[in-house]
Amino acid sequence: MTGSVLRRSVDVNILLAGQAGQGIQTLETILTRVLNASGYHVHSTREIMSRIRGGQNSTTIRVSSKPVRAALRRADLLVPLHPGSLNHVKDRMDDETLVMGDAEVLFPDGNVQVPTFVDIPFKRLAGEMGNPLFANVMVAGAVASFLGVEEDILGRFLESRFSSKGKDITEGNVKAALRGMALGREQMDRGRLVLDIPRDDSTARDIMMTGTESVALGAMAGGCNFLASYPMSPATGVMSFLARNGGDLGMVVEQTEDEVAALNMVLGAWYAGARGLVTTSGGGFALMEEAMSLSGVMEMPAVIHLSQRPGPGTGLPTRTEQGDLELVLHSGHGTFPRFIFAPGTMEEAFELTIRAFDMADRFQVPAVILTDQYFVDMQCNLKKLGDVPSVVDRHFIKAGDGYRRYEITPDGVSPRGVPGYGGQPIVADSHEHDQDGHINEDLDLRVRMVDKRLAKERSMIESSSQPELTGPDDHSVLVISWGSTGPVVAEALGLLDRDDTAHMHFTQLWPLPSGLDGTLGKADRVIVVEGNPTGQFADLLQNTTGVPIPHRLLKYTGIQFYVEEVLEGVNGLLSEGGQ
């Protein structure tokens, strides 16, 4: 080993890097589970190239003595599995980064090019144990040993993980992992690693949750019983999860021939009385625009999960961005109301997905849940995801005598019947129609029907959730986040520690609640943090409230914000103004 010692007493940021196919995600799964079971809070994120084999990928595991919900840029412990990995993550390394790896693999010429390096010949040792594939679990064992993981915790997890592969493979992996732990302890005994992070024994009872799982479970809790989708990264995980688990609740999952069919099938399911969901990304949603308009004119509920990735076109299909807000806000031809939600935590995703089903059903409008690649692939430990509603409210009626599907009402919400429930026919069409649902091109009626649909927005605004405001009431600086940027901004502002700065986090992006102009207007400076090149939400706030928002901290590299970036960026914007 060369260089100085690694010392951490609050948290440690572990960066695993290698090519696609080298088992980075398996390493992530092993370490997050055993570290959480050992008394640590964990938070992991993935950075993936669009490759089946090759390229360079990385996973960051943040290990802490307290709950963590945001990604750090720094790399305390780097484990590269491929020579190209060092160059790939070089912008996250500094002189204090400890690199642990196989010098024979990383530096075949013998020239170690990092200041602090722990050489463990994983490849050779795994070969001696009979299988080169054992190298990865040996790495997991070494890393786990640095944090004091007990052998039986790691062994039990590996036995469960590999049990389906047979006794020999299972026992081989356990032996390799324990060998890795012994190698790691040797480094600890030399006094070159000091990771004294307090443990929280209660984490052993926590659940590990990904963003994908929190959305899917929210759909199940919200009464979803039908999903139609066409696979599209990074949203496919929701479909896969519900296909594996939804059958226990009587859910039907249909992989359609394309995205056009998917949303149309979901609308058909709602028409028949089911609660339908479609999951997609920006390119797939673009194909659903006509069906969005069909939802608008039929006043048929729909719930759409859109996990954002960078565009235009195919863009960066395995990266992240908050770039589809304007697409969703203005999607569909014509004018009609819709809800847009954007969770930033697992708990928010669960609760907002339930709420999306309820609001779509209640107001007979489409409701979109905006996540992104960073969020759906992120995972962390938590005590509880949220409360499951004891009763799912179904907002349709028994269609009896006098039933009029599009009856003009003060709040714009008409009675909705479903076929076979009541004695009246249930009429639906994509054309403009009269109150009974029959095609009608009377121009005065057209105006009344448009006004009826738009009248819903008043009640939708009244039912809108307010953004969460934390910090001093007499703030002069207001930092705004939405969706997945929320926890990152919250931690950064905690480190900023200014008594004049507050944080406002939005999870409902449309319709916006009333009174925002006063809230935004009383701050001397408003800063919006978001992951797109123009500040789409800042524009929406500015156009809606009339309050100018020139200060924007934007990122659109395809990688999420790090806590350090927000801290530095907000500090920089405040320094420009002399504050």
Pairing verdict, β 77-80 and 11-20: parallel
Alpha-carbon dihedral angle through residues 239, 244, 248, 253, given to the nearest 10 degrees: 40
Pick from 68-72, 113-117, 238-242, 485-489: least confident: 113-117
Strand partners, 99: 78, 117
Residue 5 has pLDDT above 70, yes or no: no
CB 444 within 8 A of CB 450: no
Q: What is the mean pLDDT of residues 335-344?
A: 98
Higher pLDDT, 351 or 132: 351
Quote the CA–CA distance of 226 and 80 in Å, as a whole number.
43
Identify the H or E element spanning 553: strand 551-554
Q: How confident is the model at residue 188 (pLDDT cuts 50, 70, 90)?
A: confident
Superfamily the domain 6-202 falls into: Pyruvate-ferredoxin oxidoreductase, PFOR, domain III (3.40.920.10)
Q: What percentage of the chain reaches a pLDDT higher than 90?
A: 87
Q: How confident is the model at residue 192 (pLDDT cuts 50, 70, 90)?
A: low
Residue 64 has pLDDT above 90, yes or no: yes
Quote the CA–CA distance of 422 and 499 in Å, as a whole number.
61
Cα dist from 384 to 170, 208, 218, 462, whole Å: 32, 10, 13, 29
Residue 537 has pLDDT above 90, yes or no: yes
Quote the CA–CA distance of 246 and 230 in Å, as a whole number.
17
Q: What is the mean pLDDT of residues 21-36?
A: 94
Pick from 338-347, 425-434, 480-489: least confident: 425-434
Strand partners, 41: 64
Q: Residue 207 in 3-state DSSP?
A: strand
pLDDT score at 447: 97
Residue limits of CATH 3.40.50.920 in the chain: 468-576
The angle subtended at Cα 545 by Cα 540 and Cα 547, nearest 5°, is: 95
Q: Say what the pTM is.
A: 0.95
Cα dist from 179 to 126, 147, 433, 544, whole Å: 9, 16, 73, 61
Give the 3-state DSSP-derived string for 293-350, with helices as H, strands as E and coil as C.
HHHHHHCCCEEEEEEECCCCCCCCCCCCCCCCHHHHHCCCCCCCCCEEECCCCHHHHH
The angle subtended at Cα 147 by Cα 145 and Cα 149, nearest 5°, is: 60
Q: Count the Cβ atoms, other than its own, within 10 Å of residue 543.
A: 10
pLDDT score at 189: 75
Q: What percentage of the chain reaches a pLDDT higher than 70?
A: 98
Bond before 511 cis per omega within 30 degrees = yes
Residue whose entry in the numeric block shows the structure tokens 């070494």: 142
Condensed to tens digits (0 to 9), the pLDDT of residues 475-502 reads: 999 999 999 999 999 999 999 989 999 9
Residues 6+ apart with CB under 8 A from 330: none
Q: What is the mean pLDDT of residues 555-574?
A: 97
Residue 351 has pLDDT above 70, yes or no: yes
Give the 3-state DSSP-derived string for 437-476, with helices as H, strands as E and coil as C.
CCECCCHHHHHHHHHHHHHHHHHHHHCCCCCEEECCCCCC
Residue 70 has pLDDT above 50, yes or no: yes
Residue 98 has pLDDT above 60, yes or no: yes
Q: How confident is the model at residue 555 (pLDDT cuts 50, 70, 90)?
A: very high
Strongest mean pLDDT among 17-21, 189-193, 370-374: 370-374
CA atoms 512, 518, 521, 525: torsion sign: negative
Residue 510 has pLDDT above 70, yes or no: yes
Residue 577 has pLDDT above 80, yes or no: no
Residue limits of CATH 3.40.50.970 in the chain: 209-382
Question: Residue 474: is it exposed, middle or buried by C-beta count within 10 angstroms (0-12/13-18/19+)?
Answer: exposed
Residues 6+ apart with CB under 8 A from 434: 406, 440, 442, 445
- Of 512, 573, 567, whose CA–CA distance to 543 is shortest? 512
Quote the CA–CA distance of 123 and 102 in Å, as a whole number.
7
pLDDT score at 1: 45
Q: Residue 378 in 3-state DSSP?
A: coil
Residue 423 has pLDDT above 90, yes or no: no
- Of 242, 232, 167, 251, whose CA–CA distance to 212 is shortest? 242
The CATH number corresponding to 209-382 among 3.40.50.970, 3.10.20.600, 3.40.50.2300, 3.20.20.70 equals 3.40.50.970
Tell me the pLDDT of the chain averaged across its residues.
Answer: 94
Q: Count the Cβ atoms, other than its own, within 10 Å of residue 254.
A: 17
Q: Say which CATH architecture domain 468-576 belongs to.
A: 3-Layer(aba) Sandwich (3.40)
Q: How confident is the model at residue 465 (pLDDT cuts 50, 70, 90)?
A: confident
- Of 221, 226, 292, whose CA–CA distance to 260 is shortest? 292
Give the 3-state DSSP-derived string for 249-267, with helices as H, strands as E and coil as C.
HCCEEEECCCHHHHHHHHH
Residue 383 has pLDDT above 90, yes or no: yes
Q: What is the mean pLDDT of residues 146-170?
A: 93
